[in-house]
Amino acid sequence: MPEASTDALTAHYRSLQHDWQVSDGSQSYGRLVVPNGNANRPFHRWFHLKEAYSSALLSQLLKDSGWIFDDDFRVFDPFSGSGTTLLSAIEVGAELPDLSISAVGIERNPFLCELGSAKVLGRIKGSALATDVDAAGRKVVAYLNGGVGALDVEIPHQSTLKNEKYFPRQNVLDLVALRHAIDEICATDDAVRSILRVCLASSVEACSQLRRDGRALRYAPQRDPRPAVPVFNERVASAVQDLMFTTPSSAAARIHYGDGRNPLVAAGDHSYDWIVFSPPYPNNIDYTEVYKTEAWILGCYESAQDMRKQRLSTVRSHPSVRFDLEYSYSMLDVAADVDRVVDPLIEAVPADRYAVGRREMIRGYTDDMFSTLKACRSLVSKNGRLAFIVGNSAHGSQNSSAFVIAADVLMGTLAELAGWRVVEIKIARQLKRRTSDSEFLRESVVVLEPV
């Protein structure tokens, strides 16, 4: 991108954030916007979601805002991923036993929705579920060892799972057989079934020669794929341990399979004290792709069309499919204001072969985030707060064609058009990319309050 256009875009971002308090929040938040520590925390450790934030983020937000609890505490997350926000809300309740907690999440990816839901269920029921999960896990493996694994299971019609360079054939057959066994044995107990299915999903990567690098699954020839049953046994053992040492909670929490951009039905007629979320960043990561092997092993898709349909229902943050070109904001009285915010970004997109896809993504993302923020405005309580965590991203492979999408500034401005005030942008991390040294290349925590 020519220097003059980079300067114009930087000037645009600077003028949009001019009246906000923008501070260096790296000391407190640098380690909280990533899943730091989650791998060692009960329940959070059931599956490593690279894009999650820390289980300690919510309590830091509450502390920094000087939040004073009433009798109850209501939390909402429209993009709940692995369920970090809801679990953290339940933990808040565990420390304040007189506080009544209700937490609602929405997630579009069928595997991630099941993951978050199982963790939430496990955290609420705790020790009351430990014996049942342990017994069912043993039955599942006995069922398989009794020869049922040799039953008529098929490798799913998915090219990665069929590719023996990535997955030994027997491993995939065993993973699918485990799923059949879980569904059969736990047919009448949804909570136990769901927890065992998550143990199964968290075994998939270890059975392969693939590694997730954040953007995609990569071939890792140095990796030794492990057989499915011992990995599954280990995952069940650690889930049982977490359950066993957890006092049941009285919190009410649930993750809905749905669309966070249109949350009103799932969120109910509550008014929430805190809405906390991290949307997909406009950085080309396609969650449907990154978590596809787990979803296929769990039987979430039966055909390539199922998976495509799933992709099309996600936030327009990636160009892996051509999304529809409908922008609901264009029907509203704020349309011209939204255009004024987004048009300079669209104009800054270099005219190369990616230009059409990038322009569509930027306008689609703007529309999706505006819908989310507007809907959330009607869900927040009078004195409530919303905090979103978002990373800005550099696009274009060379310095001459690089430009930054400052999602924090974009969303903050859209929030103002949707009836919020930006309380503060806390810069959690300054990001480094070869192609850009923009001051806007950063990951932020943005705090809003209703006006």
Quick one: 93 or 280, whose CB is closer to ligand SAM?
Answer: 280
88 is a contact residue toward ligand SAM (CB under 6 A): no
- For residue 41, state whether it binds ligand SAM (rule: CB under 6 A): no
Which residue shows structure tokens 């929405």?
A: 106
* Whole-angstrom distance, CA of residue 426 vs CA of residue 293: 36
With contact defined as beta carbons under 8 Å apart, do 443 and 29 qualify?
no
Measured from the CB atom, is 183 or 306 closer to ligand SAM?
Answer: 306
The type of residue at 393 is S
Type of residue at 370: F
Q: From the CB of 254, what's the least distance to ligand SAM, in Å?
A: 14
- The answer to whether 119 contacts ligand SAM (rule: CB under 6 A) is no
b/e 403-429 (16+ beta carbons within 10 angstroms → b): bbbbbbbbbbbbbbbbebebbbbbbbb
171-193 residues labelled b (16+ CB within 10 A) or e (exposed): bbbbbbbbbbbbeebbeeeebbb
Residue 371 binds ligand SAM, judged by CB under 6 A: no
Task: Tell me if residue 100 falls in helix, strand or coil.
Answer: strand
If one asks whether residue 107 binds ligand SAM (CB under 6 A), the answer comes out as yes
**Which residue, 106 or 133, is less far from ligand SAM as judged by CB?**
106
User: Least distance (Å) from ligand SAM to the CB of residue 132?
Assistant: 26
Contact yes or no for 287/279 (Cβ under 8 A): no
Helix or strand run (H / E) with residue 162: helix 159-162
Residue 32 structure tokens? 């909280």
**Interface mask (CB under 6 A) for ligand SAM, residues 284-313, using x and -?**
---x--------------------------
User: 33, 52, 298, 376: which one contacts ligand SAM (CB under 6 A)?
Assistant: 52
Which range touches ligand SAM (CB under 6 A), out of 50-58, 225-233, 265-273, 345-353? 50-58
State which amino acid sits at residue 376. Answer: C
108 binds ligand SAM (CB under 6 A): yes
Which window, 101-109, 146-154, 201-209, 403-411, contacts ligand SAM (CB under 6 A)?
A: 101-109
Provide the mask over 246-285, with x wherever binding to ligand SAM is found by CB under 6 A and - wherever it is not. -------------xxx----------------xxx-----
Among 61, 104, 106, 361, binds ligand SAM (CB under 6 A): 106
Measured distance CA(146)–CA(123) in Å, rounded: 32
Residue 112 engages ligand SAM in binding (rule: CB under 6 A): yes
- Cα-Cα-Cα-Cα dihedral of 19, 21, 22, 24, to 10°? 160
Contacts of 371 (CB under 8 A, 6+ apart): 261, 262, 328, 329
Nearer to ligand SAM, 108 or 385 (CB): 108
Q: Which stretch binds ligand SAM (CB under 6 A): 44-52, 66-74, 318-326, 394-402?
A: 44-52
Question: Nearest residue by C-beta to ligand SAM?
Answer: 81
Bridge partners (DSSP) of residue 218 are 211
Which of helix, strand or coil describes residue 285?
coil
Phi first, then psi: give them for residue 116, nearest 5 degrees: -60, -40
Should residue 49 be labelled a site residue for ligand SAM when binding is judged by CB under 6 A?
Answer: yes
Q: Does 174 contact ligand SAM by CB under 6 A?
A: no
Site string for ligand SAM, 313-352 (x = CB under 6 A): -xx-------------------------------------
How many helices and strands in the chain, by DSSP H and E? Answer: 17, 12
Size of the site for ligand SAM (CB under 6 A): 22
| Chain contacts with ligand SAM (rule: CB under 6 A) | 49, 51-53, 79, 81-82, 84, 106-109, 112, 259-261, 278-280, 287, 314-315
